[in-house]
A and B are shown apart, each in its own frame.
Chain A
């Protein structure tokens, strides 16, 4: 177990190291001069030279990369070119809005989806089966930015129940969370539906039923537990994806989260801010993968870590 964990952590760290290298290369490819980004296009050459010297931009590339890694190892993500604020601090601020949106939509979407999936699983081949399939297909195919706009039109403009966008109160949260939750809901419904349905058709369930195990116990203790493993994998990746910001939904609703922060950073060529957010979400994905792997053993005791 310990050896397995060590190997997985090591692998995650090498992947993260690869991410820093890709980011560093991308940053070098960007044609904009960081000194100009900081001082503005009208700065005099002396100022630019001073800034370059300050940032160490004239040093050899390997040295710059080494320094970047050294700072990262100390938790220093650098400072924004535009505002001069610490990147880690800015990410921390935006994380609150992003996690609020992510958790709200995931809670609603996952719980409702599980419920629909479990309820319809016992009735395979019925109209509910087709309904869940079609709804999932549509839910996963419509563009979220468009769905967001349609919801704004109906609930914000026509019915005037909810604000059109922005951040602050619970009412602001409803529409963006609903946009994401609608997609999540059908996704989990179909996935749970297929998995639980498959498990219910297996031999050991038939045996348990023949032995007279009460239906609820059969359902939740015997079937659901086995069907949960793939669900947990997806849930883990989903949490990571939502936590690193949902760019399009945040853009539609003017939600001050990490996704919009990153887009703004790209458009204003604020390299440290951009690199910081990308690195942050990559790290989240790696951690989520690790946690999911370890959770397998908790759900299914047969899983051994070799």
Chain B
């Protein structure tokens, strides 16, 4: 759905600017995640207040305050960036792997193989995504890998469709006919001749996949289905403290801002790339 509304950012200059803004957000997120231990002196799971007297407001030794258990909020946010990138990255890689394979195979072979694969895509698209995710997350044993795997396994359909579309247009090119005439095997044609053709599009899909997976992970964590405790996760930070909204609004606001910035960043990179790549080709 987001795809339809955000495609085409505008003029060349504006696309570049927005893409740059996205790269800054994503880069910042990456730096925070990588440098978390150096950016905060506190353990994200440790109780850091000597005498608990409710959550501390931002300021002083705790730049973003402390939460309802007396833990440092900035430390939890910074380490939460790791969780988000890990879950998003793994889910996106898996979705991309399945989606690109299905798209390449379906688009290249066509016929009954294509029909069967696209029926499968339709089937998964018809199921309510969030419910399917919740069911799988409940049924499978909880571990750090469960959530990224589940998001990845459910989220590949749009990737498959996009890649298939690109393959359908590449398939008719002369160089492919030449490869076939030279007697190249199907596997060779797909890997050596079709895959490089769809790669620029795949980079775009990867960025959009990250934004989607991070948003979904936040939603699942909010429902209590995220990565297992005590790993800090932004979605759960909201659900843990929402009853304290009246006394400590920053506890709810901050993790939501973090999720939003991450999703906006990856969206800008993805949609910016669509424009910049299209401009280079056109």
Contacts and interface: CB of A to CB of B under 8 A. Distances in A.
Interface string B200-240: 00000000000100010011001100000000000100110
A10 interface: no
A248 interface: yes
Contacts of B134: 247, 262-263, 266
Contacts of B242: 149
A149 B139 contact: no
Interface string B89-132: 00000000000000000000000000000010011011110111
B138 interface: yes
A150 B252 contact: yes
A107 to B, nearest CB: 18
B71 to A, nearest CB: 20
Interface in A217-275: 230, 234, 237-238, 241, 244-245, 247-248, 251, 259, 262-263, 266-267, 269, 274
B6 A190 contact: yes
B54 interface: no
Given A125-B11, A138-B264, A263-B134, A143 B126 contact: no
Contacts of B131: 247, 262-263, 266, 274, 277-278, 281
A147 B135 CA distance: 25
B9 interface: yes
B128 A125 contact: no
A297 interface: no
The SS class assigned to the A binding surface is helix
Nearest to A190: B5
Contacts of A282: 126-128
Nearest to B123: A18
Interface stretch (B43-51, B191-199, B255-263): B255-263
Nearest to B235: A143
Contacts of B128: 241, 244-245, 262, 278, 281-282, 285
Contacts of A157: 245-246
B168 to A, nearest CB: 19
A137 B268 contact: yes
Interface in B161-186: none
Contacts of B139: 26, 29-31
A140 B122 contact: no
Contact of A137 (B127, B222, B267): B267
Contact of B246 (A18, A129, A153, A266): A153
Contacts of A110: none
Given A230-B4, A247-B131, A282-B126, A150 B253 contact: yes
14 contacts: A26-B136, A29-B139, A125-B10, A140-B267, A141-B267, A143-B218, A143-B256, A146-B259, A150-B256, A194-B5, A194-B8, A274-B131, A278-B132, A282-B127
Given A194-B5, A248-B223, A282-B128, 17 more contacts: A16-B126, A29-B139, A31-B139, A133-B6, A137-B6, A138-B260, A142-B263, A149-B252, A153-B245, A187-B1, A190-B6, A191-B5, A248-B219, A262-B128, A274-B131, A282-B126, A286-B126
